[in-house]
Amino acid sequence: MCNFRNRQSSQILVFVQLKNDTYFYKMKLKLLVLFTALPCVSLFAQKDDSAMFRKISDEIMLHGQCYDNLRILCKQVGNRLSGTAGAEKAVVWGEKAMKETGADLVRLQACDVPYWYRGKESLALQYDKKGTFRKTTALSLGNSHGTDGKVLDAEVVMVHNFDEFRALPNDAVKGKIIFFNYRFRQDFTFTFNGYGDGVKYRWASPSIAASRGAVGVLIRSMSTGADDFPHTGGMHYNDSFAMIPEMALGNYTADTLERNCLKGIVRARMQSECYMKPSKVRSYNVIGEIKGSETPEKIITVGGHLDSWDVGEGAHDDGAGCVQSMEIIRAFKALGIKPKCTIRAVLFMNEENGDKGGEAYADTARVRHENHVLAIESDAGGFSPRGIGMEMSEDKKEKIIKYKDLFLPYGVYDFSREEGGTDISPLKKELNVPLAGLLPDTQRYFDVHHTNNDVFETVNHRELKLGAVVMAQLIWLTDQYGL
């Protein structure tokens, strides 16, 4: 404890006893008062900040609505790929739920999004020349073009990476289905590093294979899971080559295919109806805000993306981020917090296969000359918060890091990563806005990511609420003290 009053009194006593040296001791008194007071001011400020952190945590953990909102989004709306009826339904739900937070203003922001249609799909594998074709669970990759509903029957050629593929002779590739058997690296503790390492096989394999005459691609899913859930996700075609179909396999099926490819000839029958529709669809970001009480022209944005892939329920990716962002508005209102800056929660549309919602938000901010102090995104699942990523200048990072001890009781310790979020990245590109990203525990995220297993039941209510707590705390600090 700092006892400033007693220290000040003792120095006055010294001054009285030695009053002959008046000038020297007056100066000494002023310096002692100054340097003795500073640590106490810091201690009192930290104590006040800690108390507010606790108030925010208690409000959300005891009265939070985010888990109930997620249940409704997952069970009554379901998956919501951009352009679909599910996405349209999600916008209606989002607008209603945002109003129920007590936001001062709720509005929709238009954006035109692509519409990828999956349709029916199937995959069957034959593990020897005389064997029957066995139906296998697989998912077409998002944005891919299928087989136009026809059956593609071809031999499977396995490679483990792009270098092995490039080493194959042309006659080993032409007319074949290439199985890119690249495993998600399990040696990365931070699993997003493993995702970043392997996702190129999902993104680029079809055009690389087509450049040498291959007719289809199979990939091992971008998955940490010891299971057989295939993972979908975005891919991209190079316009110079044919748009050949691409499907993902779960890890167990990929293991079986690997073993049989090593034994002899394997054939596959692929059939899919998927394609990208030629016309874009009008959709919307959902925006709610609390108007700032002192500097309303300064904006702190927090958000997640409302769209999901067309499998599962989009619970972790990214229903969690949406309901956490709305919870911050609700909690501030419930606590009577009147922020200095405008606090804005955004449910972005089309992160999964186009980022049109993020681009529309940044374009509007640029045209309106908006002053964004900070943008925060939650798009890494509803697991326990472990860190806050930052894409900003070093001096701004230091301003946040100096408060790291305040976050420790809430499980947050990692401030080392350069992370923001896909939806808010156009703000940095267009306006150089500082970005932050909530970093939950990553160990289970890529078990469920982009799968039929990304459902409400895989989200824990305490972990979800804690993520909202930490973002609300960061927003409160930024609003109080700036960056």
pLDDT band at 30 (very low <50, low <70, confident <90, very high): very low
235 and 303, same domain (yes or no):
no
Segment 34-43 mean pLDDT? 44
Domain that holds residue 13: 4-47
* pLDDT > 50? residue 199: yes
- pLDDT value at position 318? 98
Among 276, 307, 329, the domain-final residue is 276
In sequence order, the 6+-apart residues with CB closer than 8 A to the CB of 225 are 250, 251, 446, 447, 448
In sequence order, the 6+-apart residues with CB closer than 8 A to the CB of 104 are 289, 290, 291
User: Which one, of 107, 97, 109, 108, lies nearest residue 330 by Cα?
Assistant: 97
Task: Quote the percentage of the chain above a pLDDT of 70.
Answer: 90
Q: 277-302 pLDDT, tens per residue?
A: 999 999 999 999 999 999 999 999 99
Task: Quote the percentage of the chain above a pLDDT of 90.
Answer: 89
CA distance 369 to 254: 51
Does the predicted TM-score (pTM) go above 0.95? no
For tokens 């394997």, the residue is 266
Q: How many CB atoms lie within 10 A of CB 89?
A: 15
Q: Does 59 reside within a domain? A: no
pLDDT band at 45 (very low <50, low <70, confident <90, very high): low
134 and 270, same domain (yes or no):
yes
- pLDDT value at position 10? 36
For tokens 């596959």, the residue is 268
Q: Does 58 reside within a domain? A: no
Question: 126: which strand partners?
Answer: 267
Segment 177-199 mean pLDDT? 98
Segment 127-155 mean pLDDT? 96
- pLDDT value at position 64? 98
CA distances from 442 to 188, 197, 447, 448 (A): 11, 15, 10, 11
Q: Does 53 reside within a domain? A: no
- Identify the burial level of 39 via C-beta atoms within 10 angstroms of its C-beta, where 0-12 means exposed, 13-18 middle and 19 or more buried: exposed
Strands 246-249 and 216-220: parallel
264 and 347, same domain (yes or no):
no
**CATH number of the domain residue 184 falls in:** 3.50.30.30
User: Which one, of 191, 198, 235, 257, lies nearest residue 448 by Cα?
Assistant: 191
* pLDDT > 60? residue 219: yes
**CATH number of the domain residue 448 falls in:** 3.40.630.10
- pLDDT value at position 46? 64
If one counts the domains in the chain, the total is 3
24 and 80, same domain (yes or no):
no
Stated as kind and residue range, the H or E segment containing 345 is strand 341-348
CA 267 vs. chain centroid, Å, equals 38
**CA-based angle 305:114:247, to the nearest 5?**
85
Q: Does 55 reside within a domain? A: no
User: Which one, of 173, 144, 375, 172, lies nearest residue 270 by Cα?
Assistant: 144
- Is cis: bond before 318, omega within 30 of 0? yes
Segment 479-483 mean pLDDT? 96
309 and 390, same domain (yes or no):
yes
Q: Does 262 reside within a domain? A: yes
327 and 400, same domain (yes or no):
yes
pLDDT band at 12 (very low <50, low <70, confident <90, very high): very low
218 and 143, same domain (yes or no):
yes
Sheet with 385-391, edge to edge strand ranges: 105-113, 281-290, 341-348, 295-305, 371-377, 435-440, 385-391
pLDDT band at 57 (very low <50, low <70, confident <90, very high): very high
170 and 290, same domain (yes or no):
no
283 and 238, same domain (yes or no):
no
Among 241, 276, 311, the domain-final residue is 276
Q: Does 57 reside within a domain? A: no
249 and 286, same domain (yes or no):
no
Segment 302-325 mean pLDDT? 98
Q: HSE of 437 in the Cβ direction (CA atoms, 13 Å)?
A: 22
User: Which one, of 415, 418, 422, lies nearest residue 386 by Cα?
Assistant: 415
- pLDDT value at position 130? 83
123 and 231, same domain (yes or no):
yes
**Radius of gyration for the alpha carbons in the chain, expressed in angstroms and rounded:** 27
Three-class secondary structure of residue 248 per DSSP: strand
270 and 351, same domain (yes or no):
no
Among 276, 309, 343, the domain-final residue is 276
Instruction: Between 417 and 14, name the one with better pLDDT.
Output: 417
pLDDT band at 463 (very low <50, low <70, confident <90, very high): very high
* pLDDT > 90? residue 38: no
Q: For all residues of the chain together, what is the average pLDDT?
A: 92
* pLDDT > 60? residue 137: yes
**Alpha helices, H only, 101-187:** 162-167
Q: Does 297 reside within a domain? A: yes
Q: How many CB atoms lie within 10 A of CB 387?
A: 24
Q: Does 384 reside within a domain? A: yes
Q: 163-180 pLDDT, tens per residue?
A: 999 999 999 999 999 999
Q: Structure tokens of 122? A: 């199937």
